Amino acid sequence: MSNYRNVFTLDEFRVSEVRNFPMATGELSNLLRDISLAAKLINIEVNKAGLVDMLGDTGTVNIQGELVKKLDEFANNQMIAVLKRGISCAGIVSEELEDVMVFDDEMSCKSKYIVAFDPLDGSSNIDNCISIGTIFGIYSRKSTRGQPCNEGDFRLEGKNMVSAGYVIYGSSTMFVFATKRSVNGFTLDPSIGEFYLSHPDIKCPEKGRIYSVNHGNYYHYSTGVQKYLDHIQQKNKEKESSYTQRHVASMVADLHRNLIKGGIFLNPATGAFPNGKLRLIYECNPWAFIFEVAGGKATNGKKRILDIAFKDLHQRTPLYIGNSSMMKELGVFLEDDGGLVA
Ligand code: F6P
Ligand code: MN
């Protein structure tokens, strides 16, 4: 990309999509632009966090019972601000808010989308300069436009998703989003503050060799998961395979890498989290949407993540996600748990 002016910026890409699909209203496209602005604002603060009193906790505990970091709060406020000021979002759900937020001004009421997000994922890594990220899912509202969203609109389900994406604040900052057609990744050029299309039409390779799991919890996992992990190590021992373990414990970093290189990520149920740790609406559904568009799979061990019924805004689920062949291999072991994957 030495002379990358022939590469699309995010805005140029948005315009080209509108040109290619003249029926599009541009609403989704506006929403993505709004979120990309929040991404830039969060990126700046993440980059200089140690210098501007942005590390550490706020002293409050969120609905999840987790200590809220200063950067969590900052990121949450940026996301809310851009979506509220924009004209394409009728309401939001955030990991940091106990309840939904309805935008009831005239323009927002006319919008057809609800955005659910985890403003800053990977909290345990925030204070240590390790990659963290923002995750978002864009859902269609069910009620007629023109009125503020109602309770039913916020019963968010995978089948109502139209787009999902994430921002990774890593060695580069990338904004990646999926529509039903494709997944595209944009890298931030910090010198001019523009995202450029660096990863067009991302496909998760059919085969992979990376597995990402918190091995420390091995004895808390189900028999099927334990057998799968034993199997992987056994195959390596016998030199039949060369699996390799990579686990950052920042979902965005682990899944971004696995999406590009091929690999599997497991966050199973444990004694401490009998229903799984990760949240369905703003963590697992977005990632499942992205992986499926890219050719991968995502399940809770029994069914497709995107088919899980809504129970509450902050419901948790086990998550198994990755390239199709590794998911298939895992599925054989999860049958021991009475489940079915892939
Ligand atoms: O949001 C939860 C999270 O921070 C994810 O980013 C990460 O993958 C997970 O927790 C790590 O959990 P564990 O320590 O149980 O592996
Ligand atoms: Mn999270």
Structural domain boundaries in the chain: 2-199, 210-337
Nearest ligand to residue 121 Cα:
2
Report whether 220 contacts 339 (CB < 8 A): no
Give domain 210-337's CATH number out of 3.80.10.10, 3.40.190.80, 2.60.40.10, 3.40.930.10: 3.40.190.80
For the sheet with 161-169, list strands across it: 101-102, 91-94, 113-121, 132-140, 161-169, 173-179, 183-189, 194-199
Residue 22 has pLDDT above 90, yes or no: no
CA of 123 to the centre of ligand 1 (A): 8
Supply 178's token pair. Answer: 């999926």
Q: What is the mean pLDDT of residues 79-94?
A: 97
Question: Which residue among 63, 124, 132, 285 has the greatest number of ligand 1 atoms within 8 angstroms of its CB, and so is best to mutate?
Answer: 124
What kind of architecture, by CATH, is found in domain 2-199?
Answer: 2-Layer Sandwich (3.30)
Please check the confidence at residue 203 and state whether its pLDDT lies above 90.
yes
Give per-residue pLDDT as tens, 231-266.
Answer: 999 999 998 889 999 999 999 999 999 999 999 999
- Equal CATH topology for 2-199 and 210-337: no
Q: How confident is the model at residue 52 (pLDDT cuts 50, 70, 90)?
A: confident
Report residue 342's pLDDT band, with 50, 70 and 90 as the boundaries. very low
Which ligand has the shortest distance to the CA of 134? 2
Residue-wise pLDDT tens digits, 129-166: 999 999 999 999 999 999 999 999 999 999 999 999 99
Q: Is the CB of 256 under 6 A from ligand 1?
A: no
Residue type, 341: V
Per-position DSSP letters for 110-125, written without gaps between them: T--EEEEEEEEE-HHH
Q: Is the CB of 277 under 6 A from ligand 1?
A: yes
Which pLDDT belongs to residue 3?
Answer: 63
